[in-house]
Chain A
């Protein structure tokens, strides 16, 4: 019972630094533009309504990037993305066919609406500091609820673990799937023969499978994150170089921030900019390791 209570408190009540959510917001918008920019443009709009949607999308996502009226901006961006996701079967939206990274970005922006992503590194923050200074008050704390960040991390784990489910087939564990991917993208029907080459593909398949299980489960553990994050970055870098995954690799690595202890992110930022380490957060309801 006590464990269940702790779990609920961890999922729903925990608070922490708002900088990880802000960094995700800032990183996700350029990835979003890269992902949908080619199709979501005025020159390709099929009518006045879609042109208006294009204008709304870029205005809202730009506001989300700089953190101006962040929650409203994020909500409007998410609304356009959800509309595209839902309407992608219609003729007017047929070109927005659903890539995985596009679906992932849509879900991310929906979840970001509920994250305090505008309380740090944003115009909203700058305005709040000005208001506090004018009123002679202390700067507002960069703290907020973490429940949406938990869900973003859960989404990343779900991507890994459902991907593992997909790979639990003879096709994959026998090395066949990686062989045909290599053939399709690189060598055509002339995959080099030989037991060594085949063994390499089998080993790579099992390594991917094991790594994806480890990432999906282990990223929740602070201890395991120390070695899983570099491995995950290496994995996604190889994917990015070897397979045309567009923004998927960068997005997954960006979303590792959702697993990080927010205070650890604060300390890392402080080290990067040479600022003194932030004061420890209050004990009640704070994020743990």
Chain B
């Protein structure tokens, strides 16, 4: 075996080891460094986006509740194509609550606003709001997974 072939073999093994194994440091072991590449294209796009359906709840004279699904664009007076970004792209718990507050303001007193919402997380869609009586009242913050689990 010539020296050149030995060097070539050593270089090949070093490159191959880097190519094959290096991403494991970040993708499996959860290491944090810029030096090692990850091949996880677009994995974090859309995280924290919320899918939400808002409801208006009115109490009738007989005390019975009427729950009506809301078109959030129409309720806030926007054409859905020209609506501001915060209304089209609901981002996180804060974004969902902001729309709730806007709806409360628009619908006025005597109407409760409820929402059923899920949020995009590293573990898939997770419930964000399902049991909130009235977004027009102060509510406790949700607890949704934010960190990606590695390894």
A190 contacts which of B35, B47, B80, B125 (Cβ < 8 Å)? B80
With CB as the reference atom, state the residue of chain A lying closest to B11. Answer: A114
Q: In terms of DSSP, what is the predominant structure of the interface of chain A?
A: helix
For residue B46, CB closer than 8 A to chain A, the reply is yes
Which of under 10, 10 to 19, 20 to 34, or 35 or more describes the interface residues of B? 35 or more
Return chain A residues, CB-CB under 8 Å to B39. 100, 158-160, 162-163, 166
The reply to whether A184 and B46 form a contact with Cβ atoms under 8 Å apart is: yes
Return chain B residues, CB-CB under 8 Å to A41. none
Give the shortest distance, in Å, between A163 (CB) and chain B (any CB).
Answer: 5
Which of under 10, 10 to 19, 20 to 34, or 35 or more describes the interface residues of A? 35 or more
Stretch in contact with the other chain, from B12-20, B56-64, B104-112, B135-143: B12-20
Return chain B residues, CB-CB under 8 Å to A151. 12, 15-16, 19
Return chain A residues, CB-CB under 8 Å to B20. 154, 158
Residue among A114, A154, A189 with the most chain B CB within 10 A? Answer: A189
Give the shortest distance, in Å, between A265 (CB) and chain B (any CB).
Answer: 22
Q: What 3 pairs across the A-B complex have the smallest Cβ distances?
A: A180-B46, A184-B46, A188-B88
6 contacts between A and B (CB under 8 A): A11-B12, A165-B27, A166-B39, A179-B125, A181-B46, A248-B41
A residues contacting B by CB (< 8 A) are: 8, 11-13, 86, 88-89, 98, 100, 103-104, 107, 111, 114, 145, 147, 150-151, 154-155, 158-160, 162-163, 165-167, 169-171, 174, 176-177, 179-185, 188-191, 243, 245, 248
